[in-house]
Amino acid sequence: MTKAQEVRQRRIERRQHDLTVVAEGIFDWILDLIDLDTKKGYLDSTKICLFKGEKKLRNIYGSEYKVYSIYDLSEPLKKFNKIEIFSKLKEVIENEDGYEVDLNRSAVFWDSTGILLEVFVK
């Protein structure tokens, strides 16, 4: 392998590591939300959305889509695009036994578009 390829490989590995750290942080936030929902007796899926043009993840629930928690993505979005973050988040969650994810990259809700990630605990 040439020096150029070695440097490129290290760059790719570092970027993947940093992306995984971001996804794990978001998953930790989601786990807190799932636990809170469980304590409240809400056993449905947990929905997380990122509206188009925004930098904050919102936890939404119920048919009225009430928001009760927000996760700021301002810093991660400086380094990664939203599709990279959500794809890695889906992978991190699904690697955990008993969790499934539905990822909709073009969801429409509240008369807006965005990305909707729905987490199911089995």
Q: What is the pLDDT of residues 29-62, one digit of tens each?
A: 999 999 998 998 889 999 999 999 999 999 987 6
Share in percent of the chain as helix, strand, coil (round to 5): 45, 35, 20
pLDDT for position 65? 57
pLDDT for position 64? 56
Q: What is the pTM of this model?
A: 0.90
Q: Long-range contacts made by residues 101-109, C-beta under 8 angstroms, separation at least 24?
A: 102/45, 107/49, 109/49, 109/60, 109/65
Which residues of the chain carry a pLDDT beneath 50? none
Contacts of 94 (CB under 8 A, 6+ apart): 100, 101
Q: What secondary structure letter does DSSP report for 42?
A: -
Alpha-carbon gap, residue 29 to 69, rounded angstroms: 9
